[in-house]
Amino acid sequence: MNLYAVIMAGGSGTRFWPASRQKRPKQLLSLTGQRSLLQQTVDRLAPLVPPERVLVVTGRAHAEQVGEQLPELPPANILAEPMGRNTAAACGLAAAWVARRDPGAVCLVLPADHLITDESLFISTLERAAHLAAAQEVLVTLGLTPRFPATGFGYIETGEVADPAPPAVSRVAAFHEKPDLATAQAYLDGGKHLWNSGMFAWRAERLLAELERHLPELASGLAELAPALGAPDQEAALERIYPGLPSISVDHGVLEKCSHLLVVKADFGWSDVGSWEAMGELWELDSHRNANQNGRDKLHPVDSQGNLVSAGDRLVALLGVENLVAVVTDDVLLIAPRSRCQEVGRLLEELKVKGREEYL
């Protein structure tokens, strides 16, 4: 079985503003350790996939930075979309690229901006998913065991158990949109729902066949584009064809309609690093639940608790404050309650309306 990793690196990461910007989105930032989230994603795949079979799908504006961060990847393995057309197009583009080189290959599709704590279990879970995709006419998704009644994630409802041996494999009964709190609690209590991780395994040809069945317009555009992938006219072909592709997620466009779909239960310690508030689980906390991205020796709190700070190499002094997030960059200072970190996008919308594009 030939295995390729397809890393989706096209997001903007607006909830990590002001560190994350249009020109340098979240996946290119170093939020834990010295390596960026994208680099860490490639690093943890090393036992499973060599660099020549790692493919990154990103925006044209970020392709150069991706290449600088991942010099071990062949330049042709960085697919630069001229514009975002959602995940069905991005997954299809990667599948078309792989299918031209290795028709029977399996693609592992992974976000560029997640963190994993148990990397050994992560690899064995991916191997399980890849073998299923190679051996059967199925698409495979990874579902995360819920830790709390999250309202910010989609859910996968599990059906018949196909193989109880860990990591367990089930048929997918249904997908559910982000629920309200009461529904999320019911999902948690019922034990049949998993968080939708956005991680998948499928043979490249299998995905292209499902796209042809469920999204024929997208499949037609990809078929027109395929001969140019890896050729000198690739960029011109992308510029010509990509704007006309339908913009829809692979979940809505394909997975929710597919009758041959399996889910592998994933318990490898996961964070989507969704906002500054999430760093409270990832940075080292002092005895009063304060954390500084650059370490406790750069933090001087007095009568303060529950604060999260990213301020570069500065000493951060806190006096009498609680449950705040403070982020300092060269040109912006953000201060917000931890409970409102998910609303940072509102600030960007207002800056956009006021014409302050230099801060976006």
DSSP 159-218: EEEEE-SSSPEEEEEEEEPPP-HHHHHHHHHHS-EEEEEEEEEEEHHHHHHHHHHH-HHH
What tokens were used for 261? 């779909």
* 279 contacts: CB under 8 Å, gap ≥ 6: 31, 273, 291, 293, 308, 310
What tokens were used for 360? 């976006």
How far is CA 198 from each of CA 87, 128, 260, rounded to the nearest angstrom?
10, 16, 17
Query: What pLDDT was estimated at residue 282?
Result: 86
Secondary-structure class of domain 3-271 per CATH: alpha beta
By three-state DSSP, how is residue 280 classified?
A: helix
Query: What pLDDT was estimated at residue 223?
Result: 97
CA distance 298 to 335: 18
- Give the helix/strand (H/E) hosting 92: helix 86-101
CA distance 241 to 331: 38
For tokens 């042809």, what's the residue?
212
Of 215, 39, 219, 206, the closest CA to residue 130 belongs to 206
R_g (Cα) of the chain, nearest Å: 21
Query: What pLDDT was estimated at residue 171?
Result: 96
Residue 262, strand partner residues: 140, 171
CA distance 220 to 317: 58
Please list the rounded mean pLDDT of every run of 10 residues in the chain (360 residues). 94 84 89 91 96 96 95 96 95 96 95 92 96 96 93 92 94 93 94 95 97 97 95 94 96 92 94 85 92 92 96 94 95 94 90 92
Burial track 302-313 (b if 16+ CB lie within 10 A, e otherwise): eebebbbbbbee
In the chain, what are the domain boundaries? 3-271, 276-359
CA dihedral for 251, 253, 256, 260, sign (positive or negative): negative
Angle (nearest 5°) at CA 185 between 183 and 189: 115
How far is CA 3 from each of CA 54, 107, 108, rounded to the nearest angstrom?
9, 6, 7
CA dihedral for 112, 173, 152, 348, sign (positive or negative): positive
Q: Give φ, ψ of 317 to 5 degrees.
A: -105, 125
CA distance 227 to 250: 23
Of 278, 280, 303, the closest CA to residue 291 belongs to 280
How far is CA 312 from each of CA 115, 156, 182, rounded to the nearest angstrom?
21, 39, 40
